[in-house]
Structures are given as C-alpha cells and as structure tokens.
Amino acid sequence: MIHFEWPWLLLILPLPFLVRWLLPARLTAEQAALKVPFMDDFPAAETKSVNQNQQWPLLLAALAWALLVLACSRPQWLDEPVEQAVSGRDLMLAVDLSGSMEVEDFMLNKRPVDRLTAIKSVATDFINRRVGDRIGLILFGTQAYLQTPLTFDRLTVMTLLNESAIGLAGENTAIGDAIGLAVKRLLNQPTDSRVLILLTDGANTAGEVSPLKAAELAAANKLKIYTIGVGADEMIVRSFFGNRKVNPSQDLDEDTLVKIAESTGGRYFRARSADELNNIYMLLDQLEPVEKDKQFFRPRSDLFYWPLALALMLSGVIGIYKTQRT
C-alpha cells in the first residue's frame, strides 16, 4: 500500500490559487489594453489562439506544483509485514588485546595462528548466530574502551572485532577495568538480560579496579559474567639447542577468573584450542538461548523522486517555452 509520511503537507496544494485570488496580478505597461477605433479589423480566431497559447503553460505549472507538493509529502510503498525475532538480551563481549595474545598456540585450518585470530574466527560465528540480541564490544589491554555500544547491527560488531589488533589498547591486561566498563554500559538495561563474556589469556596487570572488586560490583548490578581462559597448555618451541616443550599459559590466572564467574552466577571455561573455543560458544548458546519474542516491521521504499522528477521536467518545458517567447 502507499503511505504518506507527511500527509499534512497536502494542505498547501491550493496555496497558489489562494494567492492569485487574494492578490490579483496587476497589468504592466506592456500588458495594458490599447483602445483602437478599428477593433473589428482584428480576426477573432487569432485572439482565441493567443488565449489558448497562454493557458497551457499555466496548466502545466499547476500540474508541476501538484506533483511538487506530492513529492514533499514523501509517498512511500509499504511491503508486507516481516517477522523479526527479538530476545531482549543485552550481551557484551570483552576481548583481551594485550601483547601475550600474539602467541601462536592455536591451530586454524591446519596452520598455527595467534590467539586473537582464533578468537576472531570463532566469535564471528557466535555473533552471527545471536539473532535478536543487542551486542556490544569492549576491547582491553592496559586500558579498556568501548569499541561498539549495544546494537542489533551484528555485522558492524563483527567488522570492528575483525579490525582489532594486538596491542591496540596497550601491552598489559586490565581485567577489572573491562568488567567495570561493562557494568557501566549495562547499568540502565533490564536486570534479567545482562550478560558479559570475557576472554583473556593472562592475569590482571593494569587498571584502577581489581577484578574481584569489579566482580562484586557486577554481582550487585545483576550482571552475569562468563569468563574464558584462552591459551594452550603446551607448545613446542624451536631454538638453537633443539625443540623443547613450554607452557604458554603459565601467566593465566584461572583462580581469579573462576571467582569472577561464580560470584556473578556465570561459569568459567578453558579454551586450549580453536575447537574447544567453538564448543564453549556452542554451550553459551544453550546457556543463554536466543528467545523468540516476535516483532514485526514493514519495509518501506520511497517514491517521492517520481513526482519530483516529473515536476522538474514540466518546469523545464515551461522554462523553454518562456525563453522562446522572449
């Protein structure tokens, strides 16, 4: 169906006629009547032809005005209602960008990749599945900052996550500040829908707020936190003296991450590989399922440019006619 966004603008349609009626045009000196004693010598047909030539530009101008007013009222075409599932859940992702995230102890497509690359690959699929959730993104290192506020635009969140880089927020790890920022951004949202997923590979080494203090603040504000410890338990390091096994996750503070999750009603997960990380996100889909509250919206297509184009064409025709007459 056709819908007018501003139908009240149609009320100005008779405005030129009112102006002409209230303020009649005055004859200029060139248009003044000339009285001659031999009027009968002028053919009547020529007078009628002149009057007709003067009327059709006026009719075109009236039509152009009507089309212009129609375009100003912004006509739109409304399509059929489209169903959209909305859960009402506000889900925030907090991703560690500290220097230790560059350790290549994950395998992706049979090749070694750093931890952040593995997180991007798996988290992108997770975000894409969260249809109906409002998702936000926090990036933290030495400092924590909001990269994406809560939004239904999952494509933007995925794009900005994939554009993030190791060291962008500093080389250290401010877990407490990241949690505090999430609490601040979710403070005005419904208390039964606040969820934070925090991914880190280390311990808190920076920031103004301790992780456990930030967790207490989160629990007081009904923010559920799922913590994920990222990093393999062992990897082979090649050196001049041969290969040796090392633990690349020796700085991971699992005790603190467990306490953060338990104090807020969430859970702690350990991701030693890309497959484990993907399984964790699958489990999070089950723990925080996407609900199916139905909402509808009607796609709209603007039509104003059609009457606007016709009005401009008619104006051009009138202008050409006036130019040729002068």
**Closest of 201, 218, 199, 200 to residue 209, by C-alpha:** 218
Percent of the chain scoring above 70 in pLDDT: 81
What is residue 123's predicted lDDT score, i.e. its pLDDT? Answer: 92
- Average pLDDT score over residue span 220-239: 85
Angle at alpha carbon of residue 165, lines to 162 and 167, rounded to 5°? 155
d(CA 8, CA 209): 56
Phi, psi of 209 (to 5 degrees): -120, 135
- Average pLDDT score over residue span 211-229: 94
What is residue 45's predicted lDDT score, i.e. its pLDDT? Answer: 47
Given a cut of 70, whether residue 326 has pLDDT beyond it is no
What is residue 286's predicted lDDT score, i.e. its pLDDT? Answer: 82
Compute the mean pLDDT over every residue in the chain, rounded to the nearest whole number. Answer: 82
Angle at alpha carbon of residue 36, lines to 30 and 38, rounded to 5°? 135
Binning pLDDT at 50, 70 and 90, where does residue 314 land?
confident
* Whole-prediction pTM: 0.63
- Average pLDDT score over residue span 74-83: 77
d(CA 161, CA 147): 8
pLDDT in tens, 259-278: 999 999 999 999 988 888 98
What is residue 50's predicted lDDT score, i.e. its pLDDT? Answer: 46
What is the DSSP code (8-state) at residue 68? H
CA neighbours closer than 13 Å in the CB half-sphere of residue 122: 30
- Average pLDDT score over residue span 156-181: 93
pLDDT in tens, 7-56: 888 888 888 888 777 776 665 555 555 555 555 555 554 444 445 556 77
pLDDT in tens, 98-135: 998 998 888 888 888 999 999 999 999 999 888 878 89
What is residue 316's predicted lDDT score, i.e. its pLDDT? Answer: 86
Give the tokens for residue 106: 């994950």
**For residue 272, how far is the Cα from the chain centroid?**
33
Residue type, 217: L
DSSP states of 69-102: HHHHT-EEEE---EEEEE---EEEEEEE-SGGGG
What is residue 248's predicted lDDT score, i.e. its pLDDT? Answer: 76
Domain boundaries, the chain: 2-24+38-79+298-325, 84-295
What is residue 241's predicted lDDT score, i.e. its pLDDT? Answer: 64
Where helices occur in the chain by DSSP H, the ranges are 15-22, 44-72, 115-129, 154-163, 175-186, 211-220, 254-263, 274-287, 305-325
Instruction: Give the sheet arrangement for strand 224-230, strand by strand.
Output: 144-151, 134-140, 90-96, 194-200, 224-230, 268-271
What is residue 325's predicted lDDT score, i.e. its pLDDT? Answer: 72
Given a cut of 60, whether residue 192 has pLDDT beyond it is yes
Instruction: Yes or no: say if 4 and 74 are a contact pair by the CB < 8 Å rule.
Output: yes
CATH topology of domain 84-295: Rossmann fold (3.40.50)
Q: Is 41 helix (H, G, I), strand (E, B) or coil?
A: helix
Instruction: Give the sheet arrangement for strand 300-302, strand by strand.
Output: 2-4, 75-78, 300-302
